[in-house]
Chains A and B, each alone.
Chain A
Amino acid sequence: MAEHVLELKHITMQFGGVVAVDDLSMHIDQGEIVALIGPNGAGKTTAFNCVTGVYTPTSGQVLYHGRLIVSNRPEGRMKTLYAGSQKDHPAEVVVNTPDRITKLGLARTFQNIRLFKTQTVFENVLIATHLHRTSNLLTATLRLNWREEREMREEVLNLLEVVGLKDARDELATSLPYGKQRRLEIARALATRPKLLLLDEPAAGMNPQETDSLALFIKQIKDRFALTVFLIEHHMDLVMDISDRIYVIDFGRLIAHGAPHEVQDDPDVINAYLGVDEE
């Protein structure tokens, strides 16, 4: 069996007394599109943030291509406060900051778009090429890196062409319409040359037409850049359309997973979305 691209092992994230993610285990394989869905406040984005290094989980491990990138166990105050269901905690502590995780090849977008507001479309993407620089402060200041700089700019132009924003390259990022801002965020993530792309609600706030073209777009870039995609989404149409597998969480806990049609008919999932009849 080939190793998974990304594997979450017993991830628990607790804020004070609130358990946002409880004992979540899942995996994503090469070339898949995997979706994590769940009702509002189910802990999807928190799980995402544990993978990308924004939060350190209270307990559990994340592996990327078999390599441990995050690992933690309850310590200090959390030892007594811990309320998650997982009982045996990993022994190792591995903490990575988001920038290091991005360097490993995981790039993400944000639920509430976070573009660099004062920069143009072109500059927004150009900034994301910074992590591949070979120049240092001195060579960059004295422009001894001009060849690399030129390559970066060409790469960015290519990317903008792929996402269809080449004409808007000199516009201010925030002056773009909403749908294009989403695309720009994806282009920016692609500029870090990821192997695994993490999309946090890419269709949020989009109309049906935009959502359709987004689905196509995700499939396109997945093939073109040989990506594996992990996304969080509310839009069922989109999720059912493009996902190979789906994980469903509710109140931080995994309640179902499988192929789209399997999940669709799962009674637990229906209950979670529509509410359980008390009688």
Chain B
Amino acid sequence: MSDFIRANLPYLLAGISVGGQYALIAIGYTMVYGILRLINFAHGDIFTVAAFVMVYMNATMPLYISLPLTAAVTVALGFAVERVAYKPLRTAPRMSIMISAIGVSYLLQNLMWYITGGLAKQYPTIPWISSSVTIYTATTKMVTLVTPVLTLLLVILLVQLINHTKIGMAMRAVSKDFETSKLMGIRINQVISVTFIIGSFLAAVGSMLYFSNYTAVTPVSGAMPGLKAFVAAVFGGIGSIPGAVIGAFIIGICENIIKALGLTTFSDAFTFALLIIILIFKPSGLFGEAIYEKV
């Protein structure tokens, strides 16, 4: 028994940790979808950009400045993307906004490639969370333990914000009925901006945690976690925050179990197989609601 635990505990810990990181990205996807019915294809790239911002910031300034500044720059980027690429299309068909999101993703990827020259950049080590700890014979980085705690803390804060503040109430109203809440005098643009700001901030935190596990970043290294977080959001029922968090943890843990079984090649494919399976059996996801269309 203890052998079994000893062999598998590292995978389980890694799963929970990665799951937390996915959750932080997935919330961004799910909140934007809840409010704009938009699959924000650029969100994964914002996550990657956050990593590069961190790399370049850290080269010139101390950590206690570069960490908050990275978060601030990422938030500014998320805000700007919404204002420039999505806001002008608010009355356009929904497909146009999604295409615009794809265009932004394409632009950000090419921009990152241009700035880095396509080369991998070394990700800075953040003291303390990069240090090693040993729990019950399993040696791991501190970040593995910090991630789930920090994730849950942030999620609780977010839920409080949504349930108990005025802007949170506005967000709930807009996600229920866009048109009516506009008529009720809710400032739609403000709500949408706040949504993007929260999403980008969480993506920035997720990025810092995620890349602490790796030594280097490339322009494409954020694509896979971005996609998986997206799958997690769909799995949990897109539009639902608890759904996204639970979906992300399930995917993170399953992925590492598969790695433990020695099927590493399939850990990516598995995520998408899971997606197809959930779409077949419960298309609205674990916590999503079916919607009647008015005729």
Given a CB threshold of 8 Å, the question of whether A touches B is answered with yes
* Distance of A54 Cα from B295 Cα, bound (Å): 8
Q: What does the 1/0 interface line of A209-245 toward B look like (CB < 8 Å)? A: 0000000000000000000000000000000000000
Residues A15 and B295 in contact, CB atoms below 8 Å apart: no
**B: interface residue count bin:** under 10
With a CB–CB cut-off of 8 A, which chain B residues contact A54? 295
How far, in Å, is A200 (CB) from chain B's closest CB? 9
Interface membership of A129, Cβ < 8 A: no
Interface membership of A45, Cβ < 8 A: yes
* Distance of A45 Cα from B292 Cα, bound (Å): 14
* Distance of A110 Cα from B292 Cα, bound (Å): 17
Residues A49 and B292 in contact, CB atoms below 8 Å apart: no
* Distance of A110 Cα from B294 Cα, bound (Å): 11
With a CB–CB cut-off of 8 A, which chain B residues contact A49? 295
* Distance of A45 Cα from B295 Cα, bound (Å): 8
Q: What does the 1/0 interface line of A51-64 toward B look like (CB < 8 Å)? A: 00011000000000
Q: What does the 1/0 interface line of B61-97 toward A look like (CB < 8 Å)? A: 0000000000000000000000000000000000000
With a CB–CB cut-off of 8 A, which chain B residues contact A15? 292
With a CB–CB cut-off of 8 A, which chain A residues contact B292? 15, 55
Q: What does the 1/0 interface line of B254-295 toward A look like (CB < 8 Å)? A: 000000000000000000000000000000000000001001
How far, in Å, is B290 (CB) from chain A's closest CB? 11
* Distance of A21 Cα from B295 Cα, bound (Å): 16
With a CB–CB cut-off of 8 A, which chain A residues contact B295? 45, 49, 54, 110
* Distance of A55 Cα from B295 Cα, bound (Å): 10
With a CB–CB cut-off of 8 A, which chain B residues contact A45? 295
User: Which residues in window 118-175 of A have CB below 8 A to B?
Assistant: none
Q: What does the 1/0 interface line of A89-112 toward B look like (CB < 8 Å)? A: 000000000000000000000100
* Distance of A55 Cα from B294 Cα, bound (Å): 10
With a CB–CB cut-off of 8 A, which chain B residues contact A110? 295
Q: List 6 A-B contacts (CB under 8 A).
A: A15-B292, A45-B295, A49-B295, A54-B295, A55-B292, A110-B295
B residues lining the A interface (CB < 8 Å): 292, 295
Q: Which 6 pairs across A and B sit closest by C-beta, in order of nearness?
A: A54-B295, A49-B295, A15-B292, A110-B295, A45-B295, A55-B292
